[in-house]
Amino acid sequence: MQYGFFDDKNREYVITTPKTPLPWINYLGNKDFFSLVSNTCGGYSFYKDAKLLRLTRYRYNNVPYDNNGKYFYIKDGETVWNPGWQPVKTELDSYECRHGIGYSKFTSVKNDVKASVLTFVPMSDTCEISHVELTNNSSSEKKLQLFSYVEWCLWNADDDMKNFQRNLSTGEVEIVDSTIFHKTEYRERRNHYAIYSVNTKVDAVDTSRDAFLGAYNGPDHPDAVFAGKLTNSVASGWSPIAAHQIDITLAPGETKTFNFILGYVENPEDQKWESHGIINKKPANEMLARYQSDADVDKAFAELSAYWDNLLSIYHVKSSNEKVDRMVNIWNQYQCMVTFNMSRSASYYESGIGRGMGFRDSCQDLLGFVHLIPDRARERIIDIASTQFQDGSAYHQYQPLTKKGNSDIGSGFNDDPLWLIAGTSAYIRETGDMSILDETVPFDNDMSVATPLMNHLKRSFDYIVNHKGPHDLPLIGRADWNDCLNLNCFSAHPGESFQTFGPSEGPVAESVFIAGMFVKYGEEYAQLCELKGDSAEAERARAEVKKMYDAVCTAGWDGEWFVRAYDAHSNKVGSHECKEGQIYIEPQGFCVLAGIGVKEGLAEKALKSVKERLDTKYGVMILQPAYTEYHLELGEVSSYPPGYKENAGIFCHNNPWVSIAETVLGHGDRAFEIYKKTCPAYVEEISDIHCTEPYVYSQMVAGRDAKFFGQGKNSWLTGTAAWTFVNISQYILGIYPTHKGLSVDPCVPAGFGDFELVRKYRGATYNISVKTNGAQKGIQKLIVNGNEINGTVIPYDPSVKEYTVEAIMG
């Protein structure tokens, strides 16, 4: 069952009922000002950091679902309704929500009044615009009232939910005409405030939540709206809000429009005040002045569209498969932007106050983003590397606003260092910009110990070399990519963190997964050394990689698949010797994509085992058999009920690893089959089972052992976005950036048909057409600007700006 449809021409998903199984959300904002907006107008906004600079309140963990947003109420006689249906939930005569790329548009009709709300964050201001249009489609005049409503968050979203003894006394606002200024804590340590304004004269406002809602009411029944009269309340402590009242007369057929602006404003420390106690409103007024007319809004909206036209022209495919084109050209790339911006901080499942930017997460997010805006990827790499420690280990997370490592969680996740090599290598392969390796980057944000980025990569590499266990495999530390494989923690009491409890960094427990990563990214490190002219270091690196390769093929091999790990007692994890959890997906995918065991025939066996033991119709499960008991020596992985999350869920993030591994073996059919199983466009038709948004990936789909097999959870912020884009764009469609130039080497299913691709790369445009000849892999001929070339790599030549490439497979 579906709750909407894709409109590819407009790059939108059109939701046709507000009653989706879960809130289906979108993200607004590209750089500093962000909003989450659901299909019923729920959501919230923040500036740069969802924890520290939250503008509006949202109620996680509340009922009904999706409580609090930026609401508009329309009062038409005795009927009060909202264009997004919530919060009043008056039945609408028609409803539509279009989630587009960086904007959402609601269009609803009730009693012959049509309301539409277009909401987006303009490119060059720290605000959200909501453009509201009301049309009277009846044959008589209508007297309506339009009300707006947002509830301010007192900036620190964590403190806002906890520290009531203070917070209920600090709220302050100023009101000037149609603009409400939220200035809590501005008197003392803040130099920023928020505004909510509308480009018309208002009939009344409210800034006190209690005055607006009435005691014991929620936003579903604001007394002031139902009475048709806001009270001009001035908040003092308690819960400040911003609500406007506009009385409107509409002749038959007439339309009126309004621009509501929710903004964030900062003043320089010495220009905070206009006069004693009165905030300096100059920058706010200047911002508002930019969005007064409909033409202003149209222009800002056109800028946003043009921005995305440009980004989405960098990688564009035209195949005979509509679903692939839709995901590759629109939604997958869009989700990559969102994960790049948010890491794992703010979604409907990540509360914005927990994890900030993840070291491993952000490095992986880069992989799917770097072609879009390489400069931002560059900046991010430096930020991430700045949280590394001198021994090569790293803070597992850092706060986006301060860019400082988070010491609650600390370090000791032993896969982290290698992801820095992965991200940097991807950046350089994309751009050819070797200068990044010479950037001076601090350790733990301490400039006195700064060193060139290249040296950070060396420390990453050596961290693994210097932290090996009894089988010459990498020590796992607190966990590797699988946060829940906690082999050194032994947590037996509720409330203890599975990751940081106990000895945590034992000298015995080892990870075959990190070994696979080391083989892959160790080679990428060696290539960077070579490019830097350091062939001795490249040789040393390759010798270490070779040792690791051998260790994986011996101690890391179980007979039919790769072992997952060795626990703190040196027992195997993910082996046929185990009672539960005999086979894990991660080492099968990653070791094979790193090329391990291909020539020895191990890779083929490992992937066959994946197919036999882990595959389901909804994707490949992370492990089998599921843990039915808590294993103290394994930790959180065995804490989840069977079929959920890391305990035998379909963890979408590592499905592309297996799909890529299949392309390494030339199995286009199987690679694509795996791709399709979790691909949103393919899953759309089972939206009633899948539940999460059909236009983006979720972190997890419940596995075969779960009661709700096939149900998605934790949508949007997942490494699945980047890895799937890498899989489909670089391996299946086969356009892979190397240091020497673009490689064209697709691996597609036999019936895929011919396809065309535009790829912009290092300042040139490549127009590529691929004749598949029914083959799954193998380039027979590559003709570049009329000349046949050897191999699959089109040598990069800065003097050529246009390439016409014909690739003939078979």
Site of interaction with ligand GLC (CB under 6 A):
344, 358, 360-361, 481-484, 499, 636, 645-646, 699, 718
**Rounded least distance, CB 102 to ligand GLC, Å:** 24
What residue number has its CB nearest to ligand GLC? 483
Q: Encoding tokens for residue 355?
A: 């994890």
Q: What angle do CA 152, 158, 160 make, to 5 degrees?
A: 40
Minimum CB separation from ligand GLC for residue 584, in Å?
12
Contacts of 437 (CB under 8 A, 6+ apart): 424, 428, 452, 453, 454, 457, 528, 532
φ, ψ of residue 481 in degrees (nearest 5): -50, -35
Tell me how far, at minimum, the Cβ of 720 lies from ligand GLC, in Å: 8
Output the smallest distance, CB 425 to ligand GLC, in A: 19
Q: For residue 752, count CB atoms less than 10 angstroms from its CB and return exposed for 0-12, middle for 13-18, buried for 19 or more.
A: buried
Q: What is the CA radius of gyration of the chain?
A: 27
8 Å CB contact between 424 and 436: yes
Q: Which is nearer to ligand GLC, 701 or 742 (CB)?
A: 701
Angle ∠(586,591,594) on CA atoms, nearest 5: 130
SS3 letters for 366-395? HHCCCCCCHHHHHHHHHHHHCCECCCCCEC
Residue closer to ligand GLC by CB (options 105, 360) is: 360
Q: What is each CA distance from 746 to 371, 410, 658, in whole angstroms? A: 19, 41, 16
Residue matched to tokens 């939930």: 89
CA-based end-to-end distance of the chain = 39
Residue position matching structure tokens 């200068």: 435
Nearer to ligand GLC, 126 or 393 (CB): 393
Return the number of the residue (142 or 344) whose C-beta is nearest ligand GLC. Answer: 344
> In angstroms, rounded to a whole number, what is the distance separating the alpha carbons of residues 705 and 640?
11
Among 206, 365, 483, 615, the active-site one is 483
User: Which CB atom, from 699 or from 776, has the smaller least distance to ligand GLC?
Assistant: 699
Place of tokens 């000298």: 507
**Cβ-based neighbours of 264, under 8 Å, separated by 6 or more:** 33, 45, 47, 53, 55, 126, 127, 192, 194
Cα–Cα distance measured from residue 299 to residue 119, given in angstroms and rounded to the nearest whole number: 14
Close Cβ partners of 319 (under 8 Å, ≥ 6 residues apart): 325, 752, 753, 754, 755, 756
Judge contact between 415 and 360, C-beta under 8 A.
yes
Q: Is the dihedral of CA 451, 457, 461, 463 positive or negative?
A: positive
Strand 142-155 and strand 572-573: pairing? unpaired
Tell me whether residue 38 or residue 343 sits nearer to ligand GLC (CB atom).
343
**What angle in degrees, to the nearest 10, is found between the helix axes of 359-367 and 374-385?**
160
Give CA–CA dist 708/38, Å, rounded.
Answer: 24
Q: Which residues are registered as beta bridge partners of 334?
A: none
Q: For this structure, is 483 an active site residue?
A: yes
CA distances to 202, 222, 285 from 147, rounded to whole Å, are 10, 10, 22
On the CB side of 321, CA atoms within 13 Å amount to 20
Residue 290 beta carbon to ligand GLC: minimum distance, rounded to whole angstroms: 38
CB of 635 to ligand GLC, least distance (A): 10
Q: Which residues are catalytic?
A: 483
